[in-house]
Amino acid sequence: MFRVIIALAATLAFHVEAKTMVTKKPFGKTNDGTAVDLYTLKSGKLEASITTFGGRVVTLKTPDRTGKSADIVLGFDTLDGYFKTNPYFGALIGRYGNRIGHAKFTLDGHAYTLPKNDGDNTLHGGLKGFDSRVWTGKIDGDSLVLTYLSKDGEEGFPGNLSATVKYTLTSNELRIDYSATTDKDTVLNLTNHSYFNLAGQGEGDVLKHEVTLLADRFTPVDKGLIPTGELKTTAGTPFDFHTPHAIGERINADDEQIKFGKGYDHNWVLSSGGGSLKLAAKVHEPSTGRVMEVLTTEPGLQFYTGNFLDGTLTGKAGKVYKQRYAFCMETQHFPDSPNHPKFPSTELRPGQTYRTTTVYRFSAQ
């Protein structure tokens, strides 16, 4: 009898903790007067707020090993912060996450020209990518669903693209499900560009964070950070994270690739090969014990160590964001895939549905 009561109590406790609350409030207006909302999802000790402006994760609160909660993503307290130039804090990136070399690609024999917003290249969807569009938000049970119709020709990409991104919070995970359809052959590579600092946002650099990446190759790049096409083994290089390494351990190594990225800013070829949801990376922050695991269906992961942050941006709670104050784990197809037929394809055709999932799983040890 006693056991039954305990089991019942445990089940109820689990249900109480697993219940997710989703609320909505206004977050301001864009310059053309479009209303923007901020949705907050709470489940147990996890809390995430996400705005319809660029699907950006504005805050993400997780507990440390003593149960103390902190916001672990960089961003701004108010919507205006996101209007100024900023390095895609928390953003939903599209249509094409990462770079397209020389801002062009050919599909079905047709040459497409894109805006150049990163030297000679197109980065993260162009001048006004998905990160700066206002999405339509809807609460769907325990999730927030954002939708956006990207018109044929937007930022140079073909096809009317109908995109849906679903954010689900449980007591230990933030899950993002991406889906899209098109009415013309196109290319697509969606990701999220959250900047994490597991010690708490703005609390110093991330050089002591210990990273494991389940990948034995990466895609080396040229000076403009465009892949050369080679899949290079990480063995014996500062790119080998099979066993945990502190981010700072080899970040200033005398290595051409490290120099090109000014630190880590590269795509790892995940051993999972993509397709099904598998563990890709694990990060542990020793002082707070926070652990983040990244699971994804994507074949690649861009590990970026905030090399371009330079102390000119002041974010939430007045924190100044200096170089390497955060890291990103952008799950993705490989950069510049439309120009590399040997890379996994990023093409999407009418009748097909694009579907990818990435999960950020939190714990403390």
Catalytic residues: 193, 330
How far apart are alpha carbons 112 and 118 in whole angstroms? 17
Question: Applying CB under 6 A, does 328 fall inside the site for ligand GLA?
Answer: yes
Cβ-based neighbour number of residue 139 at 10 Å: 14
Select the residue interacting with ligand GLA from 122, 150, 182, 302 (CB under 6 A). 302
145-182 b/e (C-beta count within 10 Å ≥ 16 → b): bbbbebeeebbbbbbbbebbbbbbbbbbbbbbbbbbbb
Number of residues near ligand GLA (by CB under 6 A): 11
Residue 298 binds ligand GLA (CB under 6 A): no
Write down the least CB distance from residue 226 to ligand GLA, Å: 11
Asked if 37 interacts with ligand GLA (CB under 6 A), we say no
| Closest to 96 measured CA to CA, from 71, 69, 123, 116 | 123
**Nearer to ligand GLA among residue 72 and residue 145 (C-beta):** 72
Residue 225 is a binding residue for ligand GLA (CB under 6 A) = yes
- Minimum CB–partner distance for residue 246 and ligand GLA (Å): 20
Which of 60, 23, 54 lies closest to 361 in space, CA to CA? 60
Q: Is 281 in the site for ligand GLA (CB under 6 A)?
A: no
CA distances from 234 to 14, 268, 327 (A): 42, 9, 19
Under rule CB under 6 A, residue 265 binds ligand GLA: yes
How many residues are recorded in the chain?
365
Handedness of CA 249, 254, 256, 262 (dihedral sign): positive
Q: Does 336 bind ligand GLA (CB under 6 A)?
A: no
Site for ligand GLA contains 213 (CB under 6 A): no
Print the SS3 string covering 40-103. EEEECCEEEEEECECCCEEEEEEECCCCCEEECECCCCCHHHHHCCCCCCCEEECCECCEEHHH
Q: Phi, psi (5° rounding) for residue 15? A: -65, -40
Q: Which of 38, 60, 100, 123 binds ligand GLA (CB under 6 A)?
A: 123
Tokens encoding 148: 């956006």
Residue 304 engages ligand GLA in binding (rule: CB under 6 A): yes
Joined tokens for residue 351:
């009748």
92/364 with CB nearer ligand GLA: 92
Stretch that binds ligand GLA, among 27-35, 168-176, 243-251, 301-309 (CB under 6 A): 301-309
Q: Which is nearer to ligand GLA, 54 or 159 (CB)?
A: 54
- Closest Cα to residue 178, out of 332, 305, 44? 332
CB 303 within 8 A of CB 328: yes
| Least distance from ligand GLA to the Cβ atom of residue 31, Å | 23
Selected range binding ligand GLA among 161-169, 302-310, 316-324, 357-365, rule: CB under 6 A: 302-310
Which of 308, 310, 352, 355 is the binder for ligand GLA (CB under 6 A)? 308
> What's the min distance (Å) between Cβ of 302 and ligand GLA?
5
Of 274, 300, 246, 287, the closest CA to residue 72 belongs to 287
Q: Does 96 bind ligand GLA (CB under 6 A)?
A: no
Nearer to ligand GLA, 41 or 57 (CB): 57
Q: By the criterion CB under 6 A, which residues form the site for ligand GLA?
A: 87-88, 98, 123, 225, 265, 302, 304, 308, 328, 330
